[in-house]
């Protein structure tokens, strides 16, 4: 990837964050990327392991994009994860693109531009897209619906994490990673997770049973095995399920965007004193609190009176 493409990507992502999807059509690779969601508590080693995985992916000849979802507000400028990643040794590698994005986008307020950014990077032809997010709150839930493979990470000695895993993570993670396996207690943590998985009802896609892998981002042990597991999961998931995931993801985005554009048009058409009412109706429609038919009737009334 040359400097020119890198700049086009950066500009396109900024445009997407503004809600301008026209930039998508400038990229047209038909191949699907392996989209991997990576989540876990702060400090378990997500950034370090991401860097190690990127090294391994590059050794296997794959291009890779890393998206760090920053849960802080857009105004703080995405400093939490992305900047640390950007500092790394991959900075000068032309086949690696790294970017952090704020989890709060501009589309309809609470929604995020993440699905659009993933579509863009996929259309730009990246073999692998890693989406890294702190394991708290909304952005994590969102990624689960966007990724082919969902990875949850922990490290030895985090009892809270194991409890959290039992409470729900096991139902959504395809691969569980115990990082910092160079430290004591990694094997025990892995065993606890395996036995929790054993007790949990099978929820995997098709024949897939979630797997536990031990890695160390420090001595890079287990990283190659981890990547083998990711590849196996991708193969198990199948192309049909992955295409369906993409259609659903894009469908949601289009609904959100058209509501945004609809809002703009109606507001332009409405007389000044009718605009607050129109705004309110479209917001309720977007939140699913109002039927489309009712909304249209109210809007017509507000625009014409």
Q: For ligand GDP, give the closer residue by CB, 125 or 185.
A: 185
CB 234, CB 35: distance < 8 Å:
no
108 touches ligand GDP by CB under 6 A: no
The answer to the question of residue 176 lying near ligand GDP (CB under 6 A) is no
Residues 128 and 55: beta-carbon distance below 8 Å? no
Q: In angstroms, what is the minimal distance from the CB of 78 to ligand GDP?
A: 14
Rule CB under 6 A: choose which of 47, 112, 113, 119 binds ligand GDP.
47
Question: Does residue 85 interact with ligand GDP by CB under 6 A?
Answer: no
Buried b (16+ CB within 10 A) or exposed e, 197-211: beeeeeebeeebebb
Q: Does 45 bind ligand GDP (CB under 6 A)?
A: yes
Binding string, residues 219-258; x marks residues near ligand GDP by CB under 6 A: ----------------------------------------
- The burial class, CB within 10 Å (0-12 / 13-18 / 19+), for 176 is buried
100 forms part of the interface with ligand GDP (CB under 6 A): no
Nearer to ligand GDP, 214 or 270 (CB): 214
What number of chain residues touch ligand GDP (CB under 6 A)? 15
Interaction pattern, residues 180-209, with ligand GDP; x per rule: CB under 6 A: x-xx--------------------------
Q: How far lies 47's CA from each of 78, 108, 113, 177, in Å? A: 14, 30, 22, 14
Asked if 164 touches ligand GDP (CB under 6 A), the answer is no
Contact residue for ligand GDP among 21, 38, 44, 57 (CB under 6 A)? 44
List CB contacts of 229: < 8 A, sequence separation 6 or more.
175, 211, 213
Residues 6+ apart with CB under 8 A from 103: 69, 70, 71, 112, 114, 133, 138, 139, 142
Q: Is 38 helix (H, G, I), strand (E, B) or coil?
A: strand
Strand partners, 97: 65
Q: Which residues bind ligand GDP (CB under 6 A)?
A: 40, 42-48, 179-180, 182-183, 216-218
């Amino acid at each position: 990837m040359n400097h020119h493409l890198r700049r086009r990507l950066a500009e396109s992502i900024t445009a997407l964050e503004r809600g301008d999807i026209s930039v998508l059509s400038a990229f047209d690779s038909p191949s699907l990327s392996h989209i991997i969601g990576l989540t876990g508590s702060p400090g378990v080693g997500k950034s370090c392991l991401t860097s190690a995985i990127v090294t391994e992916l590059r050794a296997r000849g794959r291009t890779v994009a890393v998206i760090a979802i920053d849960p802080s507000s857009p105004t703080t400028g995405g400093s939490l994860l992305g900047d640390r990643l950007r500092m790394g040794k991959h900075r000068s590698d032309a086949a690696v693109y790294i970017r952090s994005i704020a989890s709060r986008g501009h589309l309809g307020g609470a929604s995020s531009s993440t699905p659009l950014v993933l579509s863009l990077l996929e259309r730009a032809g990246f073999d692998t897209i890693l989406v890294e997010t702190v394991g708290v709150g909304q952005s994590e839930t969102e990624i689960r619906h966007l990724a082919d493979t969902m990875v949850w990470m922990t490290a030895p000695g985090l009892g809270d994490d194991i409890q959290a895993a039992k409470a729900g993570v096991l139902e959504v993670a395809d691969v569980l990673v115990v990082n910092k396996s160079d430290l004591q207690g990694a094997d025990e943590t892995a065993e606890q997770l395996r036995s929790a998985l054993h007790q949990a009802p099978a929820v995997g896609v098709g024949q897939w049973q979630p797997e536990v892998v031990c890695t160390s981002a420090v001595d890079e042990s287990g990283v190659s095995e981890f990547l083998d597991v990711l590849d196996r999961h991708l193969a198990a998931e199948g192309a049909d399920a992955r295409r369906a995931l993409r259609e659903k993801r894009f469908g949601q985005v289009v609904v959100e965007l058209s509501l945004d554009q609809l809002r703009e048009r109606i507001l332009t058409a409405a007389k000044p004193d009718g605009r607050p009412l129109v705004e309110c109706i479209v917001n309720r429609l977007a939140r699913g609190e109002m039927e489309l038919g009712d909304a249209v009737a109210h809007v017509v009334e507000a625009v014409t009176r």
